[in-house]
Homo-oligomer: A and B are copies of this chain.
């Protein structure tokens, strides 16, 4: 029997999806599950996107350019990014099969096996798998729930740089903590990258979901940083078109983009119908994001207050994205999350959460924490929080 990859064989299962089989079993048993485990919001897509799909027709469906359709790239360069204060050219952007593929490309293009990428923990756990697919080691700077996962000082970040460090990656706003990096934070990290000749990879999938009044500051707005800046972006997720799988990779580093283009050509092209729908989504009026933002602020406020009202639970108040990391009065949140699916029901219902431990690189950190995605309407969130409270009471007695 042939052996599978030794290097990849050590990759852990996705924290976000590893409990899915237990959820499927519970559903098969007729249990209703409130899904706070995954960032799959119930918010509507823009009308322009819905209309574009209704009007899309074909007799056969050819490939697009490997870098994406020229129409979509133009819309990003000429319509979307200028509104965000980001100035790029057509050669600086390559459309991808969602932000995930853009991440995969960058882990293969900017690193060699054995290189390190530095990230603030807790961090989006799929970075680990996507990095390990090219033998890249994720090295973490710890941040604390007590401080609301505050961005560490530049000195602390710099202490973690080793000769193997090739890049720093930030998720801004952060999945899972909801932390938003200020302009000052980003400029300080950029200075470190300049000094140590590192790429700064910024995952800005949640750019539109910021709940403070401070203007958002993108990696592409850092002055004199063209060779170092890599933007990982989502298009489809931003417009609640998660299943359309459209994102992009943006950089002014020509050498990097030339290599990424080779990867893109080898996989032919991103999904074509998704590109057409995404193109139309970009025409969504400003009122679309305004309404979405208000809805998320209300959901966040409700969720954070409800969590903190449960005895022994603590959640900081996230400033962006649609997640929060909360501490629970349990020893092992993974066991608790599994138990919620396998054993606990309140009137035939339960709640699904994501254990936070796999979002940390430091061993045993986050063991009593969970990631909560506030992606349901408030009446649903109310039911989910009631279930969580009752479950915690029951759990401490067993």
Contacts and interface: CB of A to CB of B under 8 A. Distances in A.
Interface of A: 1-2, 4-9, 11-14, 16-18, 20, 38, 40-45, 50, 53-54, 56-66, 97-98, 100-101, 104, 108-113, 126, 129-130, 133-135, 166-167, 193, 197-199, 227-228, 236, 240-245, 253, 255-256, 259, 261-263, 265-274, 277
12 contacts: A2-B193, A4-B256, A7-B113, A8-B108, A8-B259, A41-B60, A44-B59, A61-B236, A61-B242, A98-B267, A243-B269, A243-B273
Contacts of A9: 259
Contact of A110 (B5, B109, B199): B5
A361 to B, nearest CB: 16
A227 B18 CA distance: 24
A273 B227 CA distance: 36
A213 to B, nearest CB: 27
A263 B129 contact: yes
Given A256-B4, A265-B14, A61 B126 contact: no
B58 A53 contact: yes
Chain multiplicity (copies): 2
Contact of A242 (B57, B62, B166, B242): B62
Given A58-B53, A267-B98, A273-B243, A255 B40 contact: no
A98 B267 CA distance: 8
A50 B44 contact: no
A159 B259 CA distance: 34
A2 to B, nearest CB: 5
Contact of A265 (B1, B16, B272): B16
A199 B263 contact: no
Given A45-B59, A58-B50, A270-B245, A262 B13 contact: yes
Given A59-B45, A243-B63, A245-B271, A266 B100 contact: yes
A60 B271 contact: no
A109 B144 CA distance: 35
A5 B110 CA distance: 5
Contacts of A16: 265
B58 A267 contact: no
A7 to B, nearest CB: 5
Nearest to A39: B63
Nearest to A133: B108
B40 A58 contact: no
Contacts of A97: 97, 101, 245, 267, 271
A57 B61 contact: no
